[in-house]
Amino acid sequence: MSSEPTAAVAAAEHAQHLLLGLFLIIASAKLLAEVFERLRQPAVVGEILAGVLIGPYVLNWVQPSEISHTLSEIGVILLLFSVGLETKPAAILQVGKTATIVAVLGVALPFVGGWGLMELRGASDIESMFVGTAMVATSVGITARVLAGMGLLGATSSRIILGAAVIDDVLGLLVLAVVASLAEGSTDFVKIGITAAVSLAFVAGVALLLAPMMTRHAPRLGANVRISHAAFVGSIVLCLGLAVAASWIGVAAIIGAFLAGMAIAEVSEGNHELHDQIRGVTEFMVPFFLVNIGMQLKLDVFADAHVVLLALAITVIAVITKLVGCGIGAWGLGLRGAAQVGMGMVPRGEVGIVVAQIGLSMGVISAELFGVVLFMAVATTLIAPPFLKPLFAGTKA
């Protein structure tokens, strides 16, 4: 009997600790977002720095946890879903060729750059390839957040970035599969080929089959549903369903969420209530994603000057290779358009972190190198937004 009050007290204290953490994340994110907006800088930078500030390596008010990671995942899924709602499949298909070239060059150059630098430093082949792989994929959530805030998701450059990010993710998945297989001592090209085919089929199926089906049949189905806010509930169910399907296949869940939004973009056009509801829940959840990125920046590994220099070198190469590679792919848009696309593809965000964590768990990269990749992922995420705003200034959607 005496253990029951103790358990109840522990549960109450846990709930208080959880609520305090949620309060600090939301309050600090929105406070610094307001500060950066007043400084005419993207709010996303302030929200990421809020994570650095309240995280374990500065004030230590909030510790990264399974709960914060889960909320972060939900936040970025909803963010990409809301971006998809503003992106019609036809608009992406119109820039498909350019987006493909951008994605291929945006994968090849960063991989070669990261691999080459590590080889010059005398790292092992597997370690070099893992660093190159971590520099490949783009975290489109950051760029999408900035462009959505500027109302420019419909701009040609924005559509190329979004389309290239989807292709980029599939290519990055295949590169990771090959490198991980090599680290394990063997490469199953049949399995990798099947993964590639299924991933491409999933993307094409949603864009070319599901989206037209939703446009034709969703209004009729919605008219027969009696639950309140049926459009909102149905949209969230579709978002989570395709996110799960994407992760099962091996593609990032955020790609499934983006495709879910794109699938109902046509039918949701003009439904201001739905868009307001999605925007409200997204504004609440996205700070968890951005703050979580900041909280993961481990500052203690940078006590060594050599580690600092390597982190800076990796970050510079990460920025230049994406900017140049993706910019060349979008050269038909002119210099400014190419710069918009190149800079829009620079953030690595959580994608680079995930690759580094895989390498660390497999024992093929050191804790110091993990910190270097983590620095690169957060730094590129912080670097891009301040440049995106002036690059897109005056651009018409």
Q: Which domains does the chain have, with CATH numbers?
A: 72-289+299-392 (1.20.1530.20)
User: For helices 253-263 and 189-205, what crossing angle results, to 10°?
Assistant: 20
Length of the chain: 397
Would you state the pLDDT for residue 374? 80
- Span 118-132, pLDDT tens digits: 999 988 888 899 889
pLDDT at res. 349: 67
Q: Give per-residue pLDDT as tens, 79-125.
A: 889 878 877 777 777 888 999 999 999 999 999 999 999 999 988 88
CB 259 within 8 A of CB 206: yes
Average pLDDT in the 294-307 region? 79
Q: 22: helix, coil or strand?
A: helix
- Tell me the pLDDT of the chain averaged across its residues: 85
Decide: helix, strand or coil at residue 271: coil
> What would you report as the CA-atom Rg of the chain, rounded to the nearest whole angstrom?
21
Q: In one letter, which amino acid is 101?
A: I
Angle at 238 between CA 234 and CA 241, to 5 degrees: 135
Asked if residues 137 and 351 have their Cβ atoms less than 8 Å apart, the reply is yes
pLDDT at position 351 is: 66
* Cα–Cα distance measured from residue 172 to residue 137, given in angstroms and rounded to the nearest whole number: 5
The reported pTM is 0.75
As given in the structure block, the two tokens for residue 279 are: 């925007």
Instruction: State how far the Cα of 360 lies from the Cα of 365, in Å rounded to an integer.
Output: 5
DSSP percent split of the chain into helix, strand, coil, nearest 5? 80, 0, 20
Q: What is the distance between the alpha carbons of residues 80 and 16, in angstroms, rounded to a whole number?
A: 31
CA neighbor of 381 nearest in space, from 149, 165, 146 = 146
